[in-house]
Structure 1
């Protein structure tokens, strides 16, 4: 579709364009405020709690469906639910009547999104739910709509003003749907006690996964961890540091407990002072060095390194040395 040049408004200083953007955001904010206010309504809150309860107790999955812009929101909602511990799948209404209704089982619950509540494409799904007693939860802004009246649980969305100047393009209404989907997913997530560790299981790759990696997953362990006893010579400590190539060595007592650290920097300062390499490393180590637990997030290890301006961090479990992690390993893994 082409737009005639006569209808294009000149940019000028762009002030009116910025005003338009701010107006859209203001209208969207009003929609979100209206949604939040809906929870003050006892019936709405009761319905929301009932939906959460049904989803928590369902043996199968949440079948999320919607058409048009609501369908796009439904896809996003499906992804958020799935990634936060609630098994969900998107069902496209156009495919439902061509065999995909078979993906709905008696153990599932259907979550239907429709702002108007009158999308004809949703008809076969509604009929299927009624025929086989599949719980149907709906999100719509029209109380007397087909979808609202057919639903077992209807969450009545606020009838918001669209940001579109022609009041045609779904804008504020889809923002409200999206926000409600997030609120539902987070409520379910908290009900399930879904932890950061659980989140990492579902997000092992990419930047998000890197932020959830535990120290134990990136640390050097076993014989790869440089360590010497307190009475070891400076020469022995230097050999151990050279072997492990981590830029330092831990100093441990007879029980394997971390009592000190000796780094490349310490060695340079010692050599500059013309110390005898047969002297005990215990005289020149940094006592009670900073350490971290193996179950801590790698991002926390990196934060400590930046804060203390160190490159090597030893890992201890109940005081005993179990590993070592270098800043380069954290950065290489994408931890930030």
Structure 2
């Protein structure tokens, strides 16, 4: 701690991301990255973009990317707000739409742990709504709270780290019954089997959907995410962005992101492989005695009734396999396991068999 820090910095409790090891011989199943390389079209687009134009600033509003994303989702370009990863988009969302004097936002008690960090950073009051006993989000629990004291609700769908998804119809009930709330649906994992709320955007002015290229499009290292919503809503994010960083998407990232949306065949192929491997892993883990929550994401959330999760984490590390463990009391008995390649998951099962025996 430095004597030069402001008092505010001393109070922060920052988000802790998953380990990014320098050791190269580990099977890395801890941060929900894709096990597959980006589309060859993406790599070629980035190569072609490494030209004289790099001396120039990129488009402040990432116009070509907004057009490409809008075309993919059948939305006008002004319904798209790109950012330097979905975490930056979330940061702008919290500051521009969630900070209202005397009001709270709602979020699940087990969810993306960056949400409370943003609340503390921007001095936003929030209320954690407990998940059900089966770790699902219940929309009726949100509707039961006093509407006038709340400004917004945010949750991932599928939820993280549980992997459990709501249906679009369930989320639409929240939009219908609470039109005065901003409803933010974080769809970082939606492509792996959940229903997207993007088709509802034209219908509801209070809906914002967030997505990322980090998971299903194998571009975690490129840092591109975006929000989708009606222009009047997104203008709040634009005002915050232009008060913070006018050029969040660089030329290489824009070129790669556009190419990723254009290569639909590669996207569908890799998604299919992840989903098939997920189903294999779920059945294999159950045979070893694990409880596995129903997942529509590129990870599974598992617990063994006879083995401590922290000890399993350490034992897998000794087998050169990384998974993720969270200290929250409700989920301390669980491990989150990213879906790797079929070979990686077979190695995981073999190691777990040895550890459990």
TM over 0.5: no
TM-score using structure 2 length? 0.30
The structure whose Rg is larger is 1
Q: Which has the higher helix share?
A: 1
TM-score using structure 1 length? 0.32
Q: Highest relative contact order (Cα 8 Å, sep 6+), 1 or 2?
A: 2
